[in-house]
Amino acid sequence: MRLITRIAPDVGWLPVSFVNVYFIGRPGGAWTLVDTGLPGRATQIREAAEARFGTGARPEAIVLTHGHFDHAGSAAELADLWDVPIYAHRLELPYLTGRSDYPPPDPTVGGAIAFLSRFMPHRRRDLGARIHELRGSDVPGAAGWEWRATPGHSPGHISLFRSSDRVLLAGDAFATMNMDSWTGLLTGKRSLAPAGSPFNTDWDATMRSVRELAELRPNVAACGHGIPRHEADLPERLRRFADRFRPPAHGRYVAQPATTDDSGVVALPPAPFDPVPYATAGALILMGLAVGAGYLDDTRRR
């Protein structure tokens, strides 16, 4: 069993496959779970929580930075197991109450995670009566923390910040690994980079969110993907990253964002031509013809 790693006072980090979940609080006291990883990971997260907080420990709440499948995948199971509420921003609720699918990912932005996004879900999920709207700016169950709207990656994306020691839980506002590179994705090498480029449906908003977070000058930056960073020059590194941040050269949502509101998706820009499915189909057909030709040759020889 993988144990929770302390990354700041009262803050624990648990990587769950390629996505991170975070625990805010001290053993023996109140605590809050931030994000829940992929579907089917509830047991792993519960066991790690009990190793840190004690057998039978349960959080005050589950807080979602957003509702994508890799961040909210085990939310319903954990909330039922612990009998606790789940909180998310108002603009995420349509996708967490079964009212709307997310805007589809855009594989045409290019890169490793873009290629893989063709096989990743973006469907709605229904968390039922467990899901609640975040109100005010305080983080439920986490004294001293505030949440900030950081849209772009999703309409209601939020990041969490503690000003007393400048610890930032950024969700997918950005990443501490380069998910657009196959090497970066497979090795997890530390880097400041966009998070989940094919899922960013408003690049201007994403850019503004990154710049607003850089202005906080965090001492610790812990994201949804990648190893948390806490080097002495992190504030300056993040400022330079924000200054250089630019949308991709092309893609469905680069020139025009998805239009969303409290009910979910309102309008989408046209989908660009995606050559990969056709190229894959063509390659499979050619392989099939080659195999078939070889079989016929063998038959004739016999």
The SS3 call for residue 8 is strand
Cα of first residue to Cα of last residue in the chain, in angstroms, is 57
String of DSSP letters for 221-262:
EEESSS--B--TTHHHHHHHHHHH----SS-TTTSSPPEEET
Three-state secondary-structure class, residue 84: coil
- Residue 225 binned pLDDT confidence (cut-offs 50, 70, 90): very high
- Give the whole-angstrom CA distance, residue 139 versus residue 145: 6
What digits encode the pLDDT tens for the residues 1-11? 788 999 999 99
pLDDT in tens, 18-36: 999 999 999 989 999 999 9
Q: pLDDT band at 226, cuts 50/70/90?
A: very high
Asked if residue 42 lies in contact with residue 58, where contact means CB atoms within 8 angstroms, the answer is no
Tokens read off for 286: 């050619």
Say if residue 189's pLDDT is above 80.
yes
Beta strand pairing status for 11-16 and 19-25?
A: antiparallel
Residue type, 14: L
Could you tell me the pLDDT band of residue 276, with boundaries at 50, 70 and 90? confident
User: If we measure between CA atoms, which residue out of 103, 117, 120 comes closest to residue 259?
Assistant: 103
Q: Which of 85, 87, 97, 101 lies closest to 127 in space, CA to CA? A: 97
Q: Can you name the residues that pair with 24 across neighbouring β-strands?
A: 11, 32
DSSP 87-115: EE-GGGHHHHBTS-PPPPP-GGG-SHHHH
Q: Is the dihedral of CA 92, 96, 100, 102 positive or negative?
A: positive
Amino acid 224: pLDDT: 98
What whole-number percentage of the chain has pLDDT above 90?
88
Structure tokens belonging to residue 199:
């899922």
Average pLDDT over residues 207-224: 98
Structure letter (DSSP) for residue 220: E
CA distances from 285 to 187, 280, 296 (A): 33, 9, 16
Whole-number Å distance between alpha carbons of 1 and 246: 39
pTM of the model: 0.91
Query: What pLDDT band is residue 122 in, cutting at 50, 70 and 90?
Result: confident
pLDDT at 207 over 70: yes
Unique residue bearing structure tokens 């690049």: 203
CB-CB contact of 274 with 250 (8 Å): no
Q: List 31's β-bridge partners, or say none.
A: 25
Q: Which helix (H) or strand (E) holds 170?
A: strand 167-171
Q: Give per-residue pLDDT as tens, 29-74.
A: 999 999 999 999 999 999 999 999 999 999 999 999 999 999 999 9
* pLDDT value of residue 299: 53
